Amino acid sequence: MTDQNPIEALKALEVLALTAIADAPDADALEDVRVSFLGRKEGRISLILRDLGSMSPEERPAVGQEANRVKGVVCVALEARDLDFAGPGAAGGLDLTLPARGVWQGGLHPITQAVDEIWGIFRDLGFTRARGPEADTEWYNFEALNTPLDHPAADEQDTLYLVDSVLLRSHTSPVQMRTMEKYQPPIRILAPGWVYRRDTYDATHTPAFMQIEGLVIDEGITFVDFKATLAEFARRYWGPGTQTRFRPSFFPFTEPSAEVDVKRVITRPDGSTEETDWLEIMGAGMVDPAVLENAGYDSERYTGFAFGMGPARIAKLKHGVDDLRTFFENDVRFLAQFGS
Ligand code: DAH
């Protein structure tokens, strides 16, 4: 064997070993076969593995790989033959007729993917990440945001109260005030997080859902900055042809307020394109001076804009999912389609 190339030698050993395994009449004979090929001291395959160190660096990887392959094949054959001698019922749970186990690869949840993607765009536009507590007070959730407690949004019908004036935040907007309290302008933050409402669980509502809040405050921020930033976001998220529309709306904490809609251009597999309908993606507006004053900012000096969007809705539009609940039911057959 000395003159033989080690790869050829290994292939020959593989045939010899498999034949010897098949021919072994009983468990003792099988053990002898194991020792003669894989025994640590004198095993014929082990010896080649041990010789690796003295081989040239060019030769070593290929021989090492082949030796390990042959070793693996022989080990499996030994184990399988061993079962023949163990008798019925003593197979130790190894059933070679079972299909192989799949290899599972985890992936990010589609809503997490949407949050990450949206965050990436705003990060590139110069925003930083902010967060606030999910259990918050009436002050941060409503009053600081210029929303009186007799406003319908503050009603127990809509909001999940914990104790007294503490509740599960019904939107991410309280992060606005929590950030303004801590920092002075310029402020440019994005705050994704969970929010909670007394909503019936149906195709378009879940009582817990993700929101992404944005807030920009500085001297000289105008409606132009507001529109341009959100239009730029929409183009980066959905593609350069995306149009944006600002519809007048009302939120207590913005003045003027808007609902932002997008119209996307979809390219079909045959290359032709189609414009979608207008789709609402967020509420937004110029920060109300009363909110700035609540934060202790001089509303004559500073202005800003804010927005709040639902990434689940956005992911739903992007992937053509028609029922929001499927995002939360943890059916792996659904989630695996978004493998990253
Ligand atoms: N907080 C609002 C909601 O949950 C969304 C929203 C609207 C956030 C306008 C804002 C905004 O920051 O400016 O419905």
DSSP string, 271-326: S-EEEPPPEEEEEEEEEPHHHHHHTT--TTTEEEEEEEE-HHHHHHHHHT---GGG
Specify the pLDDT at position 3: 56
Tell me the three state secondary structure of residue 253. coil
Measured from the CB, is residue 258 less than 6 Å from ligand 1?
A: no
pLDDT at 1: 46
Q: What is the Cα Rg of the chain in Å?
A: 33
The pLDDT, as a whole number, for residue 153 is 73
- Cα–Cα distance for residue pair 168/162, rounded to 1 Å: 7
Ligand 1 atom 9: the closest Cα is on which residue?
284
pLDDT at 317: 82
Among protein residues, the one whose CA lies closest to atom 8 of ligand 1: 308
Is the bond leading into 248 cis (omega within 30 degrees of zero)? no
| Dist. CA 251 → ligand 1 center (Å) | 7
- Indicate which residue's Cα is closest to atom 10 of ligand 1: 307
Q: Which atom of ligand 1 is nearest to the CA of 305?
A: 13
Rounded to the nearest whole angstrom, what is the distance from the C-alpha of residue 240 to the centroid of ligand 1?
26
* Alpha-carbon gap, residue 18 to 94, rounded angstroms: 20
- The whole-angstrom separation of Cα 170 and Cα 233 is 25
Q: Report the relative pairing of strands 265-267 and 254-263 from DSSP bridges.
A: unpaired
> Would you say the CB of residue 284 lies under 6 angstroms from ligand 1?
yes
Question: What pLDDT, on a 0 to 100 scale, did the predictor assign at position 154?
Answer: 76
Question: Which residue puts its alpha carbon closest to atom 12 of ligand 1?
Answer: 307
Instruction: Give me the pLDDT at residue 92, please.
Output: 59
Its pTM stands at 0.70
> Distance between CA 193 and CA 331 in Å, rounded?
23
Is residue 285 within 6 Å of ligand 1 at its C-beta? yes
Going by the DSSP 8-state scheme, the letter that residue 234 receives in this structure is H
Amino acid identity, position 24: A
Query: Is 251 touching ligand 1 by the criterion CB < 6 Å?
Result: yes
Low-confidence ranges of the chain (pLDDT < 70): 1-3, 87-93, 340
Q: Is 213 in the pocket of ligand 1 (CB under 6 A)?
A: yes
- Sheet architecture: strand order including 302-309: 128-129, 187-196, 208-219, 302-309, 279-287, 254-263, 243-251
pLDDT at 90: 52
The candidate with the shortest Cα–Cα distance to 305, out of 209, 233, 240, is: 233
What is the C-alpha to C-alpha distance for residues 327 and 338, in angstroms, rounded to an integer? Answer: 11
Amino acid 129: pLDDT: 97
The whole-number pLDDT of residue 41 equals: 87
